[in-house]
């Protein structure tokens, strides 16, 4: 059997093992979609919510209620003192207003909804009383595809999924095979060891085609996501990311014998990157002193490159520094893993 056919057979073996695990298929393909659905629904486009306000039923309450009702975004009710206090305490209203020469606002300062209600109600009543703003202004709501939170989120979830899938698909799988003594048996066969490790990484990279198609396809169909750059360029970046993260997965599995230990190591590597690499919010929020470190992380490089391509229309050449970061992490990890890898 030729060397190339040996590599192909090892590749087929790894793919069959992957496809026979329903739980793995769910976590690789299903969970990211469910996460995108949940977060997309939480930050979906929706009308401005009305604020529930109670006005104490005393002299001048009818006039105040009429003025506030004329403004947009308020649900106004006139209540007696005790009923208003109970409604505020139970969260049925965010603010209680007592009419008079001096308006009295009652709200919970620790409740953001109450603080916002106080500002909005006061603004509406002051305008109704004739206040004019010294500067003219207007509001423009950003709702077009490409500028929403869900558009920002999809590339982050894609990068996160590629990282976790590669780390578990390579690192966890190898340690499990070592714990069952399968690696030792395979090492005794005529196969080339580099072929086995290469086939393991190649099998993981093959899954990226499905991951990218599912995630971007879902973003397009469910949220009307618009791609300003080349999807093929994004796919190439994801393949580079999968290779880089697979190298990390191979490195954490070089000498570990227990699946519990490798699970901890994978979490130790991946969780900090989930937090600082900009999956759910921009990595630029972190202090400037650690920005060079954050920018040098492979997940940061992948997510930033994907957002630049998909949301800004950047080409591959403009992302060369981030591509080099991915290649460096993957190449160094793979070389170290080959030197340190234990088959028993």
Instruction: Please tell me the predicted confidence (pLDDT) of residue 316.
Output: 92
Instruction: Please tell me the predicted confidence (pLDDT) of residue 110.
Output: 75
| Cα–Cα distance for residue pair 80/204, rounded to 1 Å | 66
Instruction: Please tell me the predicted confidence (pLDDT) of residue 272.
Output: 86
Instruction: Please tell me the predicted confidence (pLDDT) of residue 279.
Output: 86
Instruction: Please tell me the predicted confidence (pLDDT) of residue 261.
Output: 82
Q: Which of 233, 216, 242 is nearest to 150 (CA)?
A: 216
Based on its alpha-carbon atoms, the radius of gyration of the chain, rounded to whole angstroms, reads: 28
Q: Which of 161, 259, 241 is nearest to 201 (CA)?
A: 241
Phi and psi dihedrals of 188, rounded to 5?
-80, -10
Q: How many CA atoms lie within 13 A of 267 on its CB side?
A: 6
Instruction: Please tell me the predicted confidence (pLDDT) of residue 46.
Output: 52
Best CATH choice for the domain 51-128 from the list 3.90.1480.20, 2.60.40.10, 3.40.190.10, 3.40.50.2300:
3.40.190.10
Interior angle at CA 174, CA 239 and CA 334, nearest 5? 50
Q: Is 76 helix (H, G, I), strand (E, B) or coil?
A: strand
* Region label for 281, one of left (φ > 0), alpha (ψ between -120 and 50) or beta (otherwise): beta
Instruction: Give the start-to-end residue ranges of the domains of the chain.
Output: 3-43+145-340, 51-128
| Cα–Cα distance for residue pair 70/68, rounded to 1 Å | 5
End-to-end CA distance of the chain: 26
Strand partners, 74: 51
Instruction: Please tell me the predicted confidence (pLDDT) of residue 296.
Output: 93
Query: Where does residue 232 rank: exposed (0-12), middle (13-18), buried (19+ CB within 10 A)?
Result: exposed
Residue with tokens 């290649």: 327
Strand order in the sheet with 104-106: 74-79, 51-56, 95-98, 104-106
Instruction: Please tell me the predicted confidence (pLDDT) of residue 143.
Output: 56
| Cα–Cα distance for residue pair 97/121, rounded to 1 Å | 9
75-111 pLDDT, tens digit per residue, is 889 999 899 888 888 788 888 988 888 888 998 887 7
Decide: 106 and 88 in contact? Cβ < 8 Å. Answer: yes
Instruction: Please tell me the predicted confidence (pLDDT) of residue 145.
Output: 60
Interior angle at CA 125, CA 121 and CA 126, nearest 5? 115
Pairing type for strands 95-98 and 104-106 reads: antiparallel
**216 to 68, 159, 238: CA distances (angstroms):** 45, 12, 12
Low-confidence ranges of the chain (pLDDT < 50): 1
């Amino acid at each position: 059997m030729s060397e190339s056919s040996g590599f192909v057979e090892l590749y087929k073996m790894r793919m069959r093992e992957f496809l026979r695990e329903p739980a793995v298929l769910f976590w690789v393909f299903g969970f990211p979609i469910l996460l995108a659905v949940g977060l997309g629904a939480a930050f979906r486009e929706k009308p401005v919510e009305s604020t529930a306000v109670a006005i104490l039923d005393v002299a001048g309450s009818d006039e105040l209620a009429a003025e506030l009702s004329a403004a947009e975004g308020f649900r106004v009710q006139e209540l007696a003192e005790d009923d208003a206090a109970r409604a505020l305490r139970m969260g049925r209203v965010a603010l209680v207003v007592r009419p008079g020469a001096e308006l009295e606002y009652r709200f919970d300062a620790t409740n953001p909804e109450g603080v916002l209600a106080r500002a909005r109600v006061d603004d509406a009543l002051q305008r109704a009383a004739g206040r004019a703003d010294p500067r003219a202004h207007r509001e423009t709501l950003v709702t077009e595809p490409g500028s929403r939170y869900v558009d920002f989120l999809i590339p982050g979830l894609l990068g996160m999924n590629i990282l976790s899938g590669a780390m578990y698909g390579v690192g966890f799988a190898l340690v499990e095979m070592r714990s069952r003594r399968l690696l030792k048996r395979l090492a005794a066969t005529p196969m080339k060891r580099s072929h086995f490790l290469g086939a393991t990484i190649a099998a993981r990279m093959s899954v990226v085609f499905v991951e990218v198609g599912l995630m971007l396809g879902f973003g397009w169909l469910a949220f009307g996501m618009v791609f300003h750059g080349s999807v093929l360029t994004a796919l190439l970046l994801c393949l580079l990311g999968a290779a880089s993260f697979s190298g990390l997965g191979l490195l954490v599995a070089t000498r570990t014998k227990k699946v519990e230990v490798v699970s901890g190591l994978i979490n130790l590597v991946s969780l900090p990157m989930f937090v600082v690499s900009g999956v759910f919010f921009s990595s630029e929020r972190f202090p400037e002193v650690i920005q060079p470190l954050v920018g040098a992380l492979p997940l940061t490089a992948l997510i930033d490159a994907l957002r630049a391509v998909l949301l800004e229309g950047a080409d591959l050449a403009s992302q060369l520094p981030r591509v080099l970061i991915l290649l460096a992490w993957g190449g160094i990890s793979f070389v170290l893993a080959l030197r340190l890898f234990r088959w028993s």
